[in-house]
Chain A
Amino acid sequence: MAIYSFWIFDRHLGNCIFDREWTLKSNQSSGTTNSKLNEDTAKLLYGMVFSLRSISQKLSGEGSHNEIRTISTGKYRAHILCTASGLWFVLLSDLKQEDLSHVLRYLYSEIYVKTVVHNWFSPVDFAESDSEKRGQGFRKIRNRNFLASVERFLGPMVN
């Protein structure tokens, strides 16, 4: 098992509300969380998923549902979960991981829903005004419970 990074995008076109990147395979606590330096990468990643998602929806024809699942390149594989509320969960792993959709589903239903959605102190929407929509947002998930659960769940998979 090796995963490289984990990203959450909200429904406001390109707002990244959480990112976690591990930089050393040997060290579970290495890397960055909600880093400013990752903003550009987040936008590129969003753009890549967005364009391939629109291609896949076009290719499926009218009516039927065709969501994107994985994107592989020569070096890594991105696993994607799109929820009906417009959230995207993206997990980057090495090429040995064939399908991590169960991991993404767990991250959504057991970690995100329980620590962010069920939390009354956490904002429902991470963009508070119109000027923070369309990729201009800067608010991230800083909920301690969420960060700890993500770390506990994904940490052992880093190597």
Chain B
Amino acid sequence: MAIQTILVINKSGGLVYQRDFIKTGAKLSSNEYLILAGTLQGVVAIASQVTPKALQISAKTGSKTANEPSQLIPYVGSLGAPAQNLSDMGSFMGQDFFNESFPSWNQSGLKHVTTDQLSMFLYQTLTGLKFVAISTQSTTNAMAVSIAENLLRKAYCLYADYVMKNPFHDPEMPIKCELFDTHLAELVGQL
């Protein structure tokens, strides 16, 4: 699974970060990426509205506890783990950013889109920030989805470390941060 692009979308639907990792992919102008981000924001909202009636009924009749464990995303070990330089983990201790399964904060919104050539994964945070990865492999495999969620959560860890702790960064504005750039490239490179 090669990652073609990673995007970060802020809570109002604006694109704050976009980076291509392979040169062969389609070249979109920055304006087109902005439109893409805005469209995704809208679709995330619509997707939860289209929830089938069967699910709405079963949620009402109270099988809530049965639904919870499926929303836990398993930890995928050694994914993009820094092999030698432990000092490069920023403010995270240990071998990896985290080492257990984590709950998904995106309960009913858009998560994953596949097309003939690509698949797109969305990771949503509690604060409304969205991380999007576009991969050059089209797969609906549950394993691939959890790998992508793990990868994007690690990107979120990097965001927390190198973007949020940057005093020159204005939230909701495009991210211009070299450390975030290099570490994200490293993370994707290790995949």
Binding site for B on A (CB under 8 A): 4-5, 21-25, 31, 41, 44-45, 47-48, 51-52, 54-56, 58-62, 64-78, 92, 95, 98-99
Is there an interface contact between A74 and B140, defined as CB atoms closer than 8 Å?
A: no
Is there an interface contact between B26 and A72, defined as CB atoms closer than 8 Å?
A: no
Listed by A's residue number, 20 A-B pairs whose Cβ atoms lie within 8 Å are A4-B54, A5-B52, A44-B50, A48-B46, A48-B50, A51-B43, A56-B118, A59-B134, A61-B25, A65-B116, A67-B116, A70-B114, A72-B111, A73-B48, A74-B106, A74-B109, A75-B55, A76-B55, A95-B142, A98-B142
Is there an interface contact between B54 and A22, defined as CB atoms closer than 8 Å?
A: yes
Determine the distance from Cα of A65 to Cα of B138 in the docked complex, in whole angstroms: 14
Report the nearest B residue to A56, measured CB to CB.
B115
Residues of A within 8 A of B117 (CB): 60, 64, 66
Determine the distance from Cα of A78 to Cα of B52 in the docked complex, in whole angstroms: 10
B42 interface residue per 8 A CB criterion: yes
Determine the distance from Cα of A48 to Cα of B43 in the docked complex, in whole angstroms: 6
Which B91-139 residues sit within 8 Å CB-CB of chain A?
Answer: 104, 106-118, 134, 138
Is there an interface contact between B111 and A66, defined as CB atoms closer than 8 Å?
A: no
Report the nearest B residue to A21, measured CB to CB.
B53
Interface residues on B, range: 35 or more
Is there an interface contact between B140 and A98, defined as CB atoms closer than 8 Å?
A: yes
The secondary-structure label for the interface of chain B is: mixed
Determine the distance from Cα of A40 to Cα of B107 in the docked complex, in whole angstroms: 22
Which B41-70 residues sit within 8 Å CB-CB of chain A?
Answer: 42-43, 46-55, 57-58, 70
Pairs A-B, 8 closest by C-beta atoms? A61-B26, A4-B52, A56-B115, A72-B112, A98-B140, A73-B47, A74-B107, A70-B114
Determine the distance from Cα of A72 to Cα of B140 in the docked complex, in whole angstroms: 9
Report the nearest A residue to B53, measured CB to CB.
A23
B32 interface residue per 8 A CB criterion: yes
Is there an interface contact between B54 and A74, defined as CB atoms closer than 8 Å?
A: no
- Contact with A59, one of B48, B109, B118 (Cβ below 8 angstroms): B118
Greatest chain B CB density within 10 A among A5, A22, A47, A69 is at A69
